[in-house]
Structure 1
Amino acid sequence: MNIGIIGTGNMGTILTEAFIESKAVNPSSITITNRTIEKAFNIKKNHPELEVTKQLTGAVTNKDFIFVCVKPLDIYPLLKELSPLLTEQQTIVIITSPVHPEQLQDIVPCQTARLIPSITNRALSGASLLTFGSSCSVATKTALRQLASCISTPVEIHHSITRAASDIVSCGPAFISFLVQKMIEAAVEETDISKEEATTLSEDMLVGLGRLIEKRVYTLPTLQDKVCVKGGVTGEGIKALEAGVQDMFHRLFQNTHEKFDEDLEAVAHQYPPSVFTDDRRN
């Protein structure tokens, strides 16, 4: 399998390194490129067999999957440029939520799909979100699922839940990290514990929590019940959380969906009218 990766920002880099570390793809079978080419060469320093090209053609020609890891508004002009180079056997894989694979099929002659990754995939863990365009063959779907399964647990989703699923899978680690940092700050301000001690304990707690969930020892509700003994200290802490959280997460999803709507509107004018419609609220 030969792979091209266009764009080596955060997610492009994560995909590149995860594919290599998982041995899903031989480094010599991966070609990467970036507008600022030095960023691509920085990745090559750790993976000498990796191919770096300054020309888009090098990341496209003879590639089975071409991962397009650029901003939503940059996808359309990029694919217009790439279109003459693509064949029906190849597959363009986008990684951003506002653009649906179906919208790309009037632009490129190849198959189209979307894989929304998570930063957790860098540890060959967590979920990734898959959506296939109607042009994808059974063989292509199988191959992309297998590739994604090397670095994650791939979940095929309907476009109606794209934003909510992405909020949980892709944005979720940042949300949880923010909350834990707030807990650390409060612990330091309210007690004698140092920031270093609180941080180390919190990180170890998160690792242990993840392993409990991974091994299916507990579900989230049963874990809470197990720790929250009646009349104990944990219960008093839960009371504070219940009073503080209120509609916080409702507002979180409202905010992300408002931004998603803006992004959808921004990219919509770039693409021809399509049978694809955004019916996530229907």
Structure 2
Amino acid sequence: MTYGFIGIGNMGRTLIEAFIEAGTCKPSELIIHNRTKNKAEQLAKTYPGLRVASDNRETVRESSVFFLCVKPGEFRNVLQEIRDVTQSDQIAVSITSPVMISDLEAWLSCRIAKIIPSIANRVCAGNSLFVPGTRLTKEDETYLWDLFRTISQPILVDEQHTRVASDLASCSPAFLACLMEKLADAAVEETQLPRETALSLVTQMAHGLGQLLTKGNFTLKSLQEHVAVPGGITREGLNLLNRNTGPVFNELIRLTHAKYENDIQKVQNSLFPKVKNN
């Protein structure tokens, strides 16, 4: 089995490194191409045996499964380049949420899936969002599910929920890291605690929190109740957070969805431009 990767930006590289280091794939089973060739060559040096293709067409021709890891605005050029070399028994996996499966199926003759990874997959944790296309067989779905199960916990998602699921699974590591950093910075500003100490405290806390939620039989709600005793400091802090953070997260979801809808429209305008009448 040969796996192709078109694009090795942050998430493309994350998948490659995760699959290799989890033992899912050998470097020799991977072929990659990137618009900036030097990045691909550097990755090949890191993982001897990994092949660098001369172009996207070679990547597809040599692959049984290939991953489209490019930005929404780059899809038309990539699809134009590869559409006549795809085969009906190949599987194309898009990791780009605003590109609709129906649009990919209109362009390519192969089987299509949309699977959205998370940076947490780099350490074989977190979810991957699995949206099967209409041409996938049950065997294809099982194969892809098992493939991603080696680096994540796959979860089946309806395509209409891709955006909000991505907010929770893929974007939230950055959102929560931002909140943790702001908490640490506030502690430094208010008390002159060394910043290095503050960052270490919140980082180790996050590690422990993950363990409590995955292995310690706690839920998000029960953990809050366990720590926040009536009349205690934590309860006062939770009361403050509950008063102030709710509207922020509602606004956040509205913002990401507005951006998503705009991105979908831009992609579709690119893939299926309207012919202007003279």
TM-score interval for Structure 1 and Structure 2 normalised by the shorter chain: over 0.9
- Partner SS for 1:224: helix
Structure 2 match to 1:142: 142
Extract structure 1 runs of 4+ deviating beyond 3 A.
Answer: 270-273
Structure 2 match to 1:247: 247
1:168 CA drift (Å):
0.5
Number of corresponding residues: 273
Q: Deviations over 1:191-217 (max 9, x none)?
A: 131100011111110000001111152
1:149-188 superposed matches below 5 A: 149-188=149-188
- Partner SS for 2:106: coil
* Structure 1 contact 34–54 (Cα < 8 Å) conserved: no
Structure 2 match to 1:199: 199
1:39-54 superposed matches below 5 A: 39-54=39-54
Q: How many Å separate the matches in 2 of 1:268 and 1:76?
A: 9
1:272 CA drift (Å):
5.3
Q: How many Å separate the matches in 2 of 1:105 and 1:28?
A: 29
Q: Deviations over 1:249-276 (max 9, x none)?
A: 0000010011011101111224459xxx
Q: TM-score, normalised by structure 2?
A: 0.95
Unaligned stretches of 5+ residues in structure 1: 274-282
* Structure 2 contact 57–81 (Cα < 8 Å) conserved: no
Q: Deviations over 1:164-214 (max 9, x none)?
A: 000011101000000001100100011131100011111110000001111
- Partner SS for 1:247: helix
Q: How many Å separate the matches in 2 of 1:246 and 1:16?
A: 37
Q: How many Å separate the matches in 2 of 1:102 and 1:140?
A: 18
Structure 2 match to 1:276: none
1:6-45 superposed matches below 5 A: 6-45=6-45
Q: How many Å separate the matches in 1 of 2:190 and 2:39?
A: 43
Unaligned stretches of 5+ residues in structure 2: 274-278
1:242 CA drift (Å):
2.1
1:1-282 superposed matches below 5 A: 1-271=1-271
Q: How many Å separate the matches in 1 of 2:110 and 2:211?
A: 40
What residue identity is the alignment partner of 2:73?
A: L
* Structure 1 contact 33–40 (Cα < 8 Å) conserved: yes
1:137 CA drift (Å):
1.4
Q: Deviations over 1:122-149 (max 9, x none)?
A: 0111001011110111221111111111
Q: How many Å separate the matches in 2 of 1:228 and 1:77?
A: 54
What residue identity is the alignment partner of 1:131?
A: V
Alpha-carbon RMSD: 1.4
More helix by share: 2
* Structure 2 contact 117–128 (Cα < 8 Å) conserved: yes
What residue identity is the alignment partner of 2:37?
A: I
Q: How many Å separate the matches in 1 of 2:244 and 2:194?
A: 24
* Structure 2 contact 5–69 (Cα < 8 Å) conserved: yes
